[in-house]
Amino acid sequence: MCKIEKPAISLSAYSNEGYFKLYLSDIGLLRRMSKLPAALIFEDSKLYTEFKGVLTENYVLNELVNLQGDVPYYWKSRNTAEVDFVAQFDEKIVPIEVKASVNVKARSLSVYREKYTPEVSVRTSMLNLKKDDGLLNTPLYMLWTIKNQLKL
């Protein structure tokens, strides 16, 4: 997945292939390769916080690729803020911030929104579906419906 310099259509025209992130297309294999006990995924453990985010980002990426048939991009501003995914849905460029639980503080998404004022932004988390001031909170289990949610 490549970084974009600017969120504009066409995203590929603004991609910088010198900066990229690698993901695994199978979350089960990722869990197995990392030697993460399966039971730990369902527990709230202080020992399992950072990697929970890694698995969640992989899940979201797999859902987005399945929805669009293409890999989204990510955005980073001079090492101060990073939005996990930036995807194009028809004529909309949508920043997507991924949260693995109910803690949804997203400074990076706020920086992006201030700079580019997107029509809609998405945050995936374990919270309920809600739209507030152009920010759509989509529960992780409902991510497959994101295209319909963006049309509302």
Q: Write the DSSP assignment of the chain as a string of letters.
A: -EEESS--SSGGGGEEEEEE----S-HHHHHHHTT--GGGGGS--TTSSHHHHHHHHHHHHHHHHHHHSS--EEEEETTTEEEEEEEEETTEEEEEEE-SSS----HHHHHHHHHH--S-EEEEESSPPEEETTEEEEEGGGGGGHHHHHH-
Each residue's pLDDT tens digit, 10-66: 888 888 888 888 888 888 888 888 888 777 777 766 666 667 788 889 999 999 999
pTM attached to this predicted model: 0.88
pLDDT of residue 145: 93
pLDDT of residue 128: 92
**134 and 127 in contact (C-beta within 8 Å)?**
no
pLDDT of residue 29: 84
For residues 58-76, average pLDDT: 91
Highest mean pLDDT pick, 49-53, 74-78, 116-120: 116-120
pLDDT of residue 79: 76
pLDDT of residue 68: 87
**135 and 115 in contact (C-beta within 8 Å)?**
no
